[in-house]
Amino acid sequence: MLREYETQSTLNPKLWENSNLKDGLSAKFLRIANAFFDFLEVSDDVTILDVLLIGSNANYNWTDTSDIDLHVVIDYQSVGDNLHLVKNYMMAKKSIWNTNYPLKYKGMDIELYAQDWNSQLHSSVGQYSIMKDKWIKKPNADIISIDDEVIDAKMAPLQYEIEQLSENDPKLEYRIKYILSRLYKMRQTGLEAEGEYSIENLAFKKLRSKGLLARLKDFAKRIAISQLQLEQVVGQVKIDGIGDLAAHMAKRKTLDKNGWKNVLKYMNAVEDPQGQWKYPKQCTMIPSGNITMKNVPYKVLGIDNTGHSKIMRPEKDYGYPGGEVLEIPITPEHNTILKKLKKLLISMKTVTEQDFAGPFGKEHNYADFGGPWGTGHRHKTDFKKGPGKHPMDSISKNWKNKSVTKY
């Protein structure tokens, strides 16, 4: 179904000169689209059929903060026979991409979406082909038509993210806040541009009518209640992944293979020698005690399989007495985990509030100290830098015989 209403008289001057995309933008958007396509990790016989610029910034209903909607067009059937699973996979990859790579251009968020070739948008919706560098369908300066498929395309990624939320996710609080901030920003942008009948506001209302906003608020309420409840830890820690890890760091127990398996599952951690390069801002397990933080732009809490731990800082090398190191990025995504860890270690009198300032504020050289955040000795190691081509990785010295993609 189409809805029509009056709108602005010019295209967004940040992107357009008259009706032509500004010089250099097509190439930039194509680089982003190709990076997103690579991130989808589909088989070699799947190709990009087109890259479309749609939405408010391909029409006359834009604002200064309207999203730049780039649709990477592929054939879902060439990915797999089960189109429902393929669609959910694409939604999941989009969600992870948006979390890890929040791209902007002149204050506008760049949103990417893998569009199925067989679900073409209505012909009256403004569509610009980035690959062909020309309009497929020019928008009307006097009247803009909104296709329900465009509304669904705007809504679907958020719907998927909300439906995938789980109470067992240690990052649940962060995810809820992130989704809510995007939702209300999306709606406000739409209301400022064209009011009640904007794509963004109609997508917001559709999410609300499906009960998805109520689901978000219910999760947030339960988190608030649980945070108000007092937990007492007397002589032992709560039996879960984070409790086991705290006991391991406090030297109250040594995690065995099954214990580490539970910790990694709790944190959604990935076991990979490329660590933060390949999985930026995710918890990772490195199969080595020698870590380099070359080109990792944020601090990382490292905990080895002997219980030694320290804060690792960008551009420095670190050695651990153990043969494996769990990396927890000290970034907003992991605030919930880090706060729980802090609470448990303080309750076990392993650290004080002052000692624990390190990971969250006060600077110390933890390599010089014993206890939960240091090795208790200086550990000098020769580090193999490895291939080190990707800008975000921590890498073990045993990586020298592995092959990597060069960027």
Higher-confidence residue of 124 and 193: namely: 193
User: Tens digits of per-residue pLDDT, 301-317?
Assistant: 999 988 889 999 999 99
Lowest mean pLDDT among 61-65, 74-78, 194-198, 348-352: 348-352
Residue 26 lies in a domain: yes
195 plus 264 within the same structural domain: no
Residue 188 lies in a domain: yes
Residue 254 lies in a domain: yes
> pLDDT class for 330, splitting at 50, 70, 90?
very high
Q: Which two tokens stand for residue 69?
A: 């909607």
Q: Which two tokens stand for residue 22?
A: 């500004």
**C-alpha to C-alpha distance for 201 and 359, rounded to whole angstroms:** 40
Residue 407 lies in a domain: no
User: Tens digits of per-residue pLDDT, 12-67?
Assistant: 999 999 889 999 999 999 999 999 999 999 988 899 999 999 888 888 878 777 88
251 plus 318 within the same structural domain: yes
116 plus 150 within the same structural domain: yes
pLDDT for 405: 35
Q: What DSSP letter does each residue of 113-137 carry, written as one string?
A: EEEETTSPPPTTS-EEETTTTEEEE
158 plus 280 within the same structural domain: no
User: Tens digits of per-residue pLDDT, 103-130?
Assistant: 889 888 898 989 998 876 544 468 999 9
Higher-confidence residue of 1 and 307: namely: 307
Residue 174 lies in a domain: yes
288 plus 365 within the same structural domain: yes
**Last residue within a domain, chosen from 223, 252, 276:** 223
Residue 38 lies in a domain: yes
335 plus 384 within the same structural domain: yes
> pLDDT class for 74, splitting at 50, 70, 90?
very high
pLDDT at 99 over 90: no
274 plus 246 within the same structural domain: yes
The number of beta carbons lying within 10 Å of the beta carbon of residue 64 is: 12
Portion of the chain with pLDDT greater than 90, in percent: 28
DSSP 15: T
Residue 406 lies in a domain: no
Nearest to 19 by CA among 75, 58, 64: 58
Rounded to two decimals, what is the model's pTM?
A: 0.45
Q: Which domain holds residue 118?
A: 2-223
272 plus 217 within the same structural domain: no
Number of domains in the chain: 2
**Last residue within a domain, chosen from 223, 258, 285:** 223
pLDDT for 184: 83
175 plus 247 within the same structural domain: no
User: Tens digits of per-residue pLDDT, 225-257?
Assistant: 665 553 434 344 344 678 888 888 887 778 888
219 plus 260 within the same structural domain: no
pLDDT at 385 over 50: no
> pLDDT class for 197, splitting at 50, 70, 90?
low
Which residues have CB under 8 Å from 368's CB, separation 6+?
Answer: 374, 378
Which residues have CB under 8 Å from 344's CB, separation 6+?
Answer: 233, 237, 238, 242, 243, 246
**Last residue within a domain, chosen from 166, 191, 223:** 223
pLDDT for 203: 87
Lowest mean pLDDT among 16-20, 211-215, 291-295, 372-376: 372-376
208 plus 321 within the same structural domain: no
Residue 387 lies in a domain: yes
255 plus 112 within the same structural domain: no
